[in-house]
Chains A and B, each alone.
Chain A
């Protein structure tokens, strides 16, 4: 029996304690927002927060995180029908392409901003280096982080040309 606290909910799980957290999230708990990309801490698609720190859940046995506060992409927003500022920026700057890496990107970025609210370019590069985006949206990801951090003002002009057309 392993006790896990995920997105504020504590539960007891009858799962082999050596199982990586990723599979417990995705298969046991149906929290499929956290993705599998490599299984060896190379791509960052599986990033979640454990006690506020970004952790690669594909190489983290649940035994190692028992009793700790775990947050997944499903729990990133402050409340239902709300978005974390980074999620909003991701939409404003039209960051995702296929979107598969973006849960991991957002979790790494959120952990960065939580510990460093005004990161430099180098800080951002360093914090995000573990997250691969095969669609190559690095420029947009970086700009979105800077926008939220207030180190760069998001100029909506080029995009907002026709904001009234926004399709909800």
Chain B
């Protein structure tokens, strides 16, 4: 256990042994063809599935995550380079190709055994079954804020340390000097006593023949050189001069363009289709119907209803063609569904509480409520939300001679490849996927529907096709953040202490712990009932935390108000057993000058929520003047354990705040006649610069296990906002979105 003998490694094969979690050395001659094709160039020695070191002493980190904009690649490279004691200027990174050997096993591990605190150096002994499971799930996902905390901690750092150790051993052997006299620094090995030094690359070949160490020694925080310091993101120069190639920028010879429309009610089929108008538009090449499609993936099974695509010499004629189609969709039971019927259904199902599932059951809630001096109750609700990534969904495909080549920006390249292969009836090996830069992901680009469509259209027209969705389709055919209703009751004793917390909501979504509260309340009963709708749902930045953070942090604020106590102090008193949360809450209050009085018409609200291993507290300041709301200031404090890339964490926090604020102020996908009513940014607005508050971010490095940064900024913001509005006006908002007119 914990050691790779040369034999066991080869015996396991590259796929299993390439368990990309740990720095597994892949020796020349024993690489899988698939891997070597992607990572080997002339003059390079391949040391590691995560790291390569070429003859110019250049280190390349191979990053198994998709770049949605988080800058994860840079932070991962920092972790690797620091452990390796590499010269930062000699470190580059590549995104891992979508081949099974790069299955993101560490994410699989985190999903499958989320609480396992496996020390990084024993990870190789976590048996091959997990590697297999991860592969079977086709994991190669960016999401769950996992890049840094799993791949970085368990993969990159261990890999860097292992490679350094092997290189040092190789140097000691070459120079015939004791190992402990070899110093590795800035990509150079040195032996002071004899005055010898040479670049790492001089020892690469010898090191490649060594058995990798099973437990390379990792640095302690005080030894960090590159982690925790600012480095410029590598990807920005191409993002300021227009040269960055996003998925929609892919251009192939002889390429056609297509745009598409699927059944607005998600379930109907085409009853009548008149293509004449579309076909008469100059440049239109074809009108293609795609049958409804069953897709099974690790997220469950989906049925995509029938759709029609118009294929043309350019997007513009394709779009005009789409507009000219006369489509009659069939009517189903879902045509009677509206937002009103959905929320009525939720209220009914919560009231009936049939088959209520339990999240937490402790103490005696009915008794505590009976003994309470005051009982407060409230219903909260949030609507469906679309993702509206800045780059509308698109994919480019060529299907020829039983093979498919695909260019797409996605959060799960291996899963996409598998889904496309299934839809075409191909073997996965006959689908090549190039993952491109993504103009935002936010969870939407983990669902492969658009890639499947592109491949199916390309298969029919026999030429390369770029499928580009209209923004309207993007808004109306999303996998939405679900609409949710949540009902609360709390009991307070005569002093205002909260003694009972009762909460029932629809529906339960991942992750499990989203509805839990950190507060010391003896009697708690938190549970959920199921109340399905036909509206497709999916992961939306921070998943269930996005709404649960709003619900629980609003209701605890109501308890503080009912007790006549300061909402910050009230929370703090209930957090004495949770020092990490308490420290973050306190820091937010201090930075925001919580106790400094505000003029009339202004208000301050606070909120605290933990997600993805990070704790975030936010304070919002608002002004409400003649019913007009403006958000003036946000103070956000994060404890993500340790911020590898502090400016990157700050940027993610700013981003998460604006994303959540957009949703809280404006975000609403409403349903009428079974379909989405909104269609573009005019009726599904996004926060713009004039409405954006000043955001001050603060980072606490508590030393806890590294947590996520991309998502945890979003969950607390809605409650901090509505709590601030309550503070300014006395008006409690229990239903999102808030809107800007409060009168």
Q: Which residues of A contact B (CB under 8 A)?
A: 16, 19-20, 23, 26-28, 30-40, 42-43, 45, 72-74, 76-77, 83, 87, 90-91, 94-103, 106, 124-126, 128-142, 158-162, 165-168
Contacts and interface: CB of A to CB of B under 8 A. Distances in A.
A97 B235 CA distance: 9
Given A100-B439, A133-B658, A134-B390, 18 more contacts: A16-B316, A31-B242, A32-B248, A32-B251, A35-B439, A36-B468, A73-B242, A90-B240, A91-B240, A94-B233, A94-B651, A97-B655, A98-B68, A100-B440, A132-B390, A139-B695, A159-B647, A166-B231
Given A133-B390, A139-B695, A167-B89, A98 B440 contact: yes
B391 A35 contact: yes
Contact of B231 (A103, A125, A126, A167): A167
A73 B235 contact: no
B39 to A, nearest CB: 20
Interface secondary structure of A, over-half rule: loop
Given A98-B69, A138-B692, A77 B241 contact: yes
B427 interface: no
Contacts of A99: 69, 235-236, 238-240, 244, 437, 439
B257 interface: yes
Given A40-B682, A73-B242, A125-B689, A134 B440 contact: yes
B594 interface: no
B652 to A, nearest CB: 8
Contacts of B659: 134-136
A142 B691 CA distance: 13
B236 A94 contact: yes
Contacts of A128: 688-689
The list of the 9 closest CB pairs from A to B, nearest first, reads A33-B242, A136-B658, A100-B439, A98-B69, A99-B239, A73-B242, A97-B69, A32-B249, A42-B681
A112 B654 CA distance: 24
Contacts of B232: 91, 94, 166-167
A102 B690 contact: no
A96 B689 contact: no
Interface string B391-402: 110000000000
A116 to B, nearest CB: 16
B445 to A, nearest CB: 11
A119 to B, nearest CB: 12
B568 interface: no
B341 interface: no
Given A98-B438, A134-B388, A142 B229 contact: no
Contacts of B89: 165-168
Contacts, number: 209
Contact of A97 (B651, B657, B690): B651
B315 A27 contact: yes
A137 B246 CA distance: 19
A100 B655 CA distance: 14
A106 B242 CA distance: 10
B314 interface: yes
Given A98-B438, A132-B686, A165 B70 contact: no
A30 B659 CA distance: 32
B688 A129 contact: yes
B681 A73 contact: no
B26 to A, nearest CB: 26
B684 to A, nearest CB: 10
Contact of A135 (B468, B655, B690): B655
B687 interface: yes
Nearest to B474: A38
B119 interface: no
B245 interface: yes
B685 to A, nearest CB: 9
Contacts of B242: 31-34, 72-74, 76, 103
Contacts of B69: 96-99, 135
Contact of B282 (A16, A90, A98): A16
B91 interface: yes
